[in-house]
Amino acid sequence: MAKVFTAFVFGLIFGVGILISGMANPAKVLNFFDVAGTWDPSLMFVMGGALIVTAIGYRFVFRLPHPLLDGKFLVPTRKDLDLKLILGSVIFGVGWGMSGFCPGGLIPAIGIGIVEPIIAVAAVLAGMYTYKTLTRTQA
């Protein structure tokens, strides 16, 4: 129960942060990508702030023998770049650039009362389902 409550609290903090920073607003995100036009560098500061907080947090957390709410750290061990990772990154970037919605901001964006994030979430779920279906038949 502690894991669920902790996940809820941190998810709530993340969602509120996304809303306060304006990152749930696709126009703000798209203006970040419009370097030749109405460029808005504020997304760069949001990302930079997130990187700083994460870097500091990792320095403290990995000094612990194990996470506070789990028996071991679950850290990816693969270091190679494969075609799935590269294509997934390209699809992620194109989707983000076209829609203005980063997947991390989609759920909080649903709360602002517009239909576009709902459509984007449906597209993300459809992509996940398609990937799972295609990779299941290859195995």
- How many other CB atoms sit within 10 Å of the CB of residue 42? 14
pLDDT for the residue 55: 94
Number of domains in the chain: 1
Q: Encoding tokens for residue 34?
A: 């419009």
* Distance of alpha carbon 88 from alpha carbon 94, whole angstroms: 10
pLDDT in tens, 21-74: 888 888 888 888 888 989 989 888 888 988 999 999 989 998 999 988 888 988
pLDDT of the residue at 51: 93
Q: What is the pLDDT of residues 4-27, one digit of tens each?
A: 999 999 988 988 888 888 888 888
Q: Nearest-CA neighbor of 138 among 83, 63, 76?
A: 83
For residue 138, pLDDT over 80 is answered with: no
- Residue 136: pLDDT band with limits 50, 70, 90: confident
In this prediction the pTM is 0.68
Query: What are the backbone angles phi and psi of residue 65, rounded to the nearest 5°?
Result: -70, -30
- Domain range enclosing 107: 2-138
